[in-house]
Structure 1
Amino acid sequence: MPPPKKPNNHAALEDIPNPLRSGKPVRRSAPAPVRKAAPKKRSSKKKPLPAYVKFAVGALVLILLSPFYYGYIIKGFSSTWRWVLDIGEDPNYRTYNSFEIKIPVAYNIHGIDVSYYQGKIDWPKVRAMKEDGVQVSFAIIKATEGLASVDPYFQRNWREAAKVGIVCGAYHFFRPSKSGRQQARLFLQTVHFEQGDLPPVVDIEHLNGATPAEMRVELQAFLDHVEQKTKVKPIIYSGLTYYNDYLKGYFDAYPLWIAHYYKSELKIDSGANWFFWQHSDKARITGINHVVDFNAFRGDSTAFQSLLIK
């Protein structure tokens, strides 16, 4: 037998197709995507806050939610802003924004006087109004005028103001050309004074055709009749100029209520027996739709109480 032929390795290699020889591009398969290892999950458990931190946070929340906190902040801001606005102004005569007027700061007891001109008044709102310690503590209400005129709002104002704790007084608008005694009778028929009220007031501002001497005679007749019936010395109201021209030296025994507007102090003789000062006629009061006269009492609460009808 002939010997077996050895395999021709070269021929075998030549029989294998070679793409480089054929000129055809070699297509390589895309590599398999490499998968990223999933990140390890961190533990969701957090360390608890220390007890003192929880307490501090809770206390802070309570403070921020407290109305007292905001009241303190607002008050501090208002005081600072008030100080800025008052730079250059008389420190004894500062502006009160709520009342829209300047008010002399040397007085602690304040009040208003009203008539039909102010219309229907919401007295609870009047009483509730307050700015930096200033509020309406008393009201002097018009009752009558001349011989026959009764203020249409007097009875309502007299009743409703007292209900909210405002100390009340009543005044008569005096006509010097008419009988002082008859005017006093109308006044006392309309107003029934009680313990705790302010003394009766007579408002004298004009001569109405009478001479100063005639005016003084009728005014004295009014004062005498009222004092006789009420056992209380009446208060005389007038403007500063009228007082200096016609009343000064004639009625010095009577308590005075003087009108003198837009000044930091009442410029009147030091010996004048004045108790009330009407320092503005254009105050704005919550509960009243028109401007109002604003007054200060000369004295402290003890002096004010001693003036009231016993």
Structure 2
Amino acid sequence: MAKKKADTIPGARSLLAILTLAIIAALGWWWFKSSQPDFIRYDAFGIEIPANFSIHGIDVSKYQQRINWEAVKEMEVEDVRIGFVFIKATEGLGKMDGYFRRNWEKAAETGLPRGAYHFFIAPKSGAEQAENFIRRVDLQPGDLPPVLDVEQTYGVSAEKLQKEVKAFLERVETHYGVKPIIYTNVDFYERYLKADFNDYPLWVAHYLKKDRPRITRNWAFWQYSETGNVNGIRGKVDFNVFNGDSTDFENLLLD
């Protein structure tokens, strides 16, 4: 019996050594990951960019005026380039953004995945606002889903707001055959929309945290800065990230 016990000691020691190395490796990986920055300053873009996301984009409207889309597409700083763009299309019952047509066509010519958004006027009919958007926006395979930008109540009640938002979303979903994305900020969502709209993809604006937005529900896009710089665009522009990898992003695009 004594001999058998002695024979097992080297094996036990080897197992202990392997376990020790595994623990050290795991602790080393944890330390490496925890020591990585949550955001990195990119002087060319003029902002700090969240480090834990790989797909970056911008959103534009008439306020960016005439954009050189080739310059936007070609700009790349280290591992960051513009991978998608949301473009303002319409507002309220009858308005169309003055630069929408040009931005929509030129973005497509460069091969940038594009999405169109409608700025919502809460006191107006949601269904009629949807018709304004539908008349102006012809979505194609490879485009992002349509977006409803709702961020002001204009004095209407929460019940009225929710009713008209639902009317817009349902009409747009019926027409395009895809669930629209809701764009809003964290406080507005939690105060006025809440769980009634959790089935819709969320594009959330939140500038107070540098690693991720302060919201508990899942989200697809995060607008984290409104002061970025991009080649080909005069003035400041909003920056966004997509919450997923390239496969997730491809799955979101229209068929």
- Per the alignment, residue 198 of structure 1 pairs with 144
Residue of structure 2 aligned with 1:274, choices 219, 223, 229: 219
* 1:133-282 correspondence runs (5 A): 133-270=79-216, 272-282=217-227
Moved runs in structure 1, 4+ residues, more than 6 A? none
Offset at residue 90 of structure 1 (A): 7.5
CA distance in 2, matches of 1:188, 1:231: 12
Return the index of the structure with the highest Cα Rg.
1
How far residue 294 of structure 1 moved from its aligned partner, in angstroms, is 0.1
Equivalent residues in 2 for 1:44-193, closer than 5 Å: 91-193=37-139
- Which one has more relative contact order, counting CA pairs under 8 Å at least 6 apart? 2
* One-letter code aligned to 2:111: G
Which 5+ residue runs of structure 1 have no aligned equivalent?
1-88
* 1:262 Cα deviation from its structure 2 partner: 4.8
Secondary structure class of the residue paired with 1:287: coil
Once the two structures are TM-superposed, the CA of residue 165 in structure 1 deviates from its matched residue by: 1.2
- Counterparts of 1:121 and 1:143 in 2: how far apart (Å)? 15
CA distance in 2, matches of 1:153, 1:264: 31
One-letter amino acid of the counterpart of residue 239, structure 1: N
Instruction: Give the whole-Å Cα distance in 1 for the aligned partners of 2:213 and 2:53.
Output: 15
- Name the % identity: 47
Once the two structures are TM-superposed, the CA of residue 244 in structure 1 deviates from its matched residue by 1.2
Structure 2 counterpart of 1:297, one-letter code: F
Which ranges in structure 2 are unaligned for 5 or more consecutive residues?
Answer: 1-34
Q: Which has the higher helix share?
A: 2
Deviations 1:31-58 (A, max 9, x none): xxxxxxxxxxxxxxxxxxxxxxxxxxxx
The letter of the residue matching 2:152 is H
Q: Give me the whole-angstrom Cα distance separating, in 2, the residues matched to 1:138 and 1:296.
A: 9
TM-score normalised by the chain length of structure 1:
0.70
- Residue 243 of structure 2 aligns with an amino acid whose one-letter code is R
Report what 2:232 is aligned to: 287
| Cα-Cα RMSD | 1.2
Aligned residue for 1:233, secondary structure, equals coil
